[in-house]
């Protein structure tokens, strides 16, 4: 999906070996502006003509473009050096040099581009077809014809082109979804996603079945729909990088609703929620301003008495439901609640 010229180099880190690649480190250099030309008109009719040196062409830009059909940065795996074309030198007869051919890098929606050295966010792509000049090419230099004056009718100088920008950059994908599933490994997130959407995540009875985000579209009433993401499970210490650590937590930053999935057979429902809450707070306190919903999964094994005991452990002020992905219990009510929260009028 790279349009223009590019070169490949070294292997990527181990984290980028799967088909889902959510972070890429690349060296980028935009094109150098072409030099202006120092030239004077000379032909069989003009022996001592005035200056006619043309301007140099602009160096090529490096542009990021959103593509809704991409879900990963995998296609950039081997393009570790992105070197844009320089502008062409100005010609005689006031002809301007050709601009460098821009490089367009197509990325998934939700991609953030940062400078590695400063850590500063430079570009954010959120819409399909959105194009942003990431590294502008250098401006071409002016030819000597621009510098002619009544007192200096034969200037012997022209401008050099301006250099492009270069440096090590980081492209980071943060999954765009309306609802993010948050829970410990093996809480039933993948099973829920497979039941309420057409997504087919890997499901097995062991921790960390999901190691990359899975997205699915929930078909609601009257042709309406919303997007839900099954994200890798949190473990205690994730904010410090344990388990999948920051690689997971990054993806919940863009979710409007965080759906906490706590299994009915948990030893301590209150403690499990508090650990999940604490990890979000440690990673980014702003995540705590999102809408929270709690779903007790695997609740087909519960009777009314057990449900009442669990409810006593849950925090007040956060909506909660009892669901079962196996028997479809409570799933209609869950979809209704998610839809209503997503479309609640802004006060």
DSSP 27-60: EEEPPPPPPPP--B--BTTBSS--B-PPPPPPPP
Q: What gap in Å lies between CA 112 and CA 130, rounded to an integer?
A: 13
pLDDT surpassing 90 at residue 79: no
pLDDT averaged over every residue in the chain: 82
Confidence at 17, pLDDT banded by 50, 70, 90: very low
With 0.85 as the threshold, say if the pTM is over it.
Answer: no
Q: Does the pLDDT of residue 50 top 90, yes or no?
A: no
Q: Across residues 283-311, what is the average pLDDT?
A: 89
**Which of 132, 130, 156, 139 lies closest to 53, judged by CA?**
156
- Are both 1-173 and 179-342 of the same fold? no
Give the orientation angle of helix 331-342 with respect to helix 189-196, to 10 degrees: 80
Instruction: Measure the CA–CA gap between 276 and 281, rounded to whole angstroms.
Output: 9
2-3/121-125 β-pairing:
unpaired
pLDDT digits (tens, 9 = 90+) for 55-67: 999 999 999 999 9
Q: How far is CA 147 from the centre of its chain?
A: 46
Phi, psi of 83 (to 5 degrees): -115, 110
SS (H, E, C) 201-231: CCCCCCCCCCCCCEEEEEECHHHCEEEEEEC
Please report the pLDDT score of residue 2 as a whole number.
59
Residue range 179-342 in CATH 3.40.710.10: no
- Residues 185-231 have pLDDT tens digits of 777 778 888 888 765 544 444 333 444 567 778 888 888 888 888 77
Residue 183 has pLDDT above 60, yes or no: yes
Cα–Cα dist 24/70, whole Å: 15
**Domain locations along the chain:** 1-173, 179-342
Contact 218, 228 (CB under 8 A): yes
Q: What is the CA radius of gyration of the chain?
A: 28
Angle between helices 304-313 and 269-283 (to 10 degrees): 40
Residue 109 pLDDT exceeds 60: yes
Mean pLDDT of 135-146: 95
pLDDT at 1: 54
pLDDT at 318 over 50: yes
Place of tokens 């999964």: 297
> For residue 319, what are the contacts with CB-CB under 8 A and spacing of at least 6?
292, 293, 294, 337, 341
The answer regarding whether domain 1-173 maps to CATH 2.160.10.10 reads no
């Amino acid at each position: 999906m790279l349009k223009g010229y590019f070169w490949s180099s070294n292997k990527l880190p181990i984290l980028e070996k799967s088909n889902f690649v959510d972070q890429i480190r690349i060296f980028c250099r935009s094109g150098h502006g072409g030099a202006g030309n120092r030239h004077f008109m000379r032909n069989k009719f003009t022996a001592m003509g005035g200056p006619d040196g043309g301007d140099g062409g602009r160096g090529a830009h490096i542009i990021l473009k959103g593509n809704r059909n991409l879900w990963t940065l995998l296609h950039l795996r081997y393009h570790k050096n992105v070197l844009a074309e320089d502008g062409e030198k100005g010609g005689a007869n006031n002809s301007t040099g050709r601009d460098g051919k821009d490089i367009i890098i197509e990325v998934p929606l939700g991609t953030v581009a940062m400078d590695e050295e400063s850590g500063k966010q430079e570009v954010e792509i959120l819409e399909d077809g959105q194009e942003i000049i990431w590294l502008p090419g250098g401006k071409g230099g002016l030819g000597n014809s621009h510098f002619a004056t009544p007192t200096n009718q034969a200037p012997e100088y022209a401008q050099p082109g301006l250099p492009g920008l270069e440096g090590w950059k980081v492209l980071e994908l943060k999954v765009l979804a309306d609802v993010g599933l948050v829970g410990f490994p093996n809480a039933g997130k993948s099973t829920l996603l497979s039941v309420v959407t057409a997504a087919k995540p890997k499901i097995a009875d062991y921790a960390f079945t999901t190691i990359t985000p899975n997205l699915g579209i929930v078909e609601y009433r009257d042709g309406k729909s919303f997007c839900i993401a099954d994200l890798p499970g949190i473990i205690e210490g994730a904010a410090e990088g344990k388990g999948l650590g920051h690689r997971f937590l990054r993806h919940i930053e863009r979710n409007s609703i965080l759906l906490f999935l706590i299994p009915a057979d948990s030893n301590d429902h209150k403690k499990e929620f508090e650990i999940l809450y604490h990890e979000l707070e440690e990673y980014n306190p702003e995540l705590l301003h999102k809408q929270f919903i709690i779903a007790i999964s695997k609740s087909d094994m519960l009777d009314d008495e057990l449900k009442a005991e669990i409810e006593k452990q849950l925090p007040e002020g956060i909506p909660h439901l009892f669901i079962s992905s196996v028997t479809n219990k409570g799933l209609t009510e869950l979809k209704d609640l998610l839809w209503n929260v997503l479309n609640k009028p802004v006060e």
